[in-house]
Amino acid sequence: MSWFHVRPVARDVWLVAEPSHVNSWLVAGRDRAVLVDTGLGIVPIRPVVEAVCDLPVDVVNTHAHLDHVGGNAEFSRVAASPFPTSGVAASERASYLRWMREVLDAAAAYRDLDARYFHLLSADSDPRPLPDGVERWVEPGPPSGPVPAPLHDGDTIDLGGRTLTVLHTPGHSPDSLCLLDDRDGVLFAGDTVNTGPIYAQAPECDLPAFAASTARLAALSGDVSLVAMSHFGRGVAEPRYLHDVAVAFDRLVTGDPTVEVRPARDCEGDAVREAVFDQCSVYLPAVP
């Protein structure tokens, strides 16, 4: 279980982190619980969830990318958006494993700098050693796990005394969705909102749709108590952050010439452009 870091962040809401890689989220009601995404699938996630919560657990995928569906086969009930998106390829896993090793190679020096100057690292974000047998993760094979039940915009998931409302938020991918906890106002944002960089560079990304989705979330911020995100060192943000992200995407789609754009590389090593804002950044295709 040392691959994961688990902690409560709100009433009956737990962060289930694979630190520096991806966050899953467990939210419980009176009768049932939902695991929002199942991570990379490098180490079984279900025993971790069951150690925290003794309720029946269903899975909701915020989208079908490899770092969000890796543990789906451990569960009998999975739901997701029916909109098509790219699946999980062994080549993607191999690229990401190379990136994970790069992160670990850099971690020692970063820890030293952070301890002396910045004090930003925490158990949420400090990367763990790769588990034994991780090479098996990249072996090719058919997608595993139950066929997801379809979730549409406006659908609700009743956990008993707590309801999650489905928000279709395309942009990062056609099937991206968020979940809004109607009891306590927790927004599970998937990859639609992150503390940066937000990935909008892949062929299936849609920048105008991204802008519309983030504007929609910003308009709902009065109903949000905190934003629970999937990536990077800060997995939880205040509702105001939804406005910051929406403004960033609006500046991109309207062609604001004052936006700083610099060359960068994503987690698969591909060249991208990074649009930099005060509170976040956005990865864009390398060629405009």
Residue-wise pLDDT tens digits, 217-248: 999 999 999 999 999 878 999 999 999 999 99
Q: Are strands 57-60 and 22-28 parallel, antiparallel or unpaired?
A: unpaired
pLDDT in tens, 16-26: 999 999 999 99
pLDDT in tens, 49-101: 999 999 999 999 999 999 999 999 999 999 999 998 776 667 888 999 999 99
Judge whether 106 lies within some domain: no
What does pTM read for this prediction?
Answer: 0.96
Q: How many domains in the chain?
A: 1
Judge whether 124 lies within some domain: no
Is pLDDT at 1 greater than 60 in this prediction?
A: no
Q: What range does the domain containing 161 cover? A: 5-87+140-285
Question: Cα separation of 267 and 194, whole Å?
Answer: 15
Predicted pLDDT at 87: 61
**Segment 256-260 mean pLDDT:** 98
Question: Cα separation of 286 and 198, whole Å?
Answer: 15
Predicted pLDDT at 214: 98
CATH code of the domain containing 21: 3.60.15.10
Confidence at 269, pLDDT banded by 50, 70, 90 = confident
Judge whether 123 lies within some domain: no
Judge whether 164 lies within some domain: yes
Average pLDDT, the chain: 95
Residue 167, number of CB atoms within 10 A of its CB: 22
Predicted pLDDT at 287: 84
Confidence at 139, pLDDT banded by 50, 70, 90 = confident
Judge whether 9 lies within some domain: yes
Percent of the chain with pLDDT over 70: 97
Q: What are phi and psi of 191, to 5 degrees?
A: -105, 10
Judge whether 14 lies within some domain: yes
Sheet holding 33-36, edge to edge: 5-10, 13-18, 22-28, 33-36, 57-60, 78-80, 149-150
Q: In a 3-state reduction of DSSP, which class is residue 3? A: coil
Predicted pLDDT at 154: 98
64: its two tokens: 């079908």
Question: Cα separation of 42 and 7, whole Å?
Answer: 20
Give, as one character, the DSSP assignment of residue 117.
I
Judge whether 252 lies within some domain: yes
Judge whether 229 lies within some domain: yes
- Taking alpha carbons only, the member of 37, 138, 141 closest to residue 93 is 138
Predicted pLDDT at 142: 60
- Give Cα separations from 25 to 45, 49, 98, 233 (angstroms): 11, 10, 25, 15
How many H helices and E strands in the chain? 5, 17
Predicted pLDDT at 15: 98
**Segment 103-127 mean pLDDT:** 96
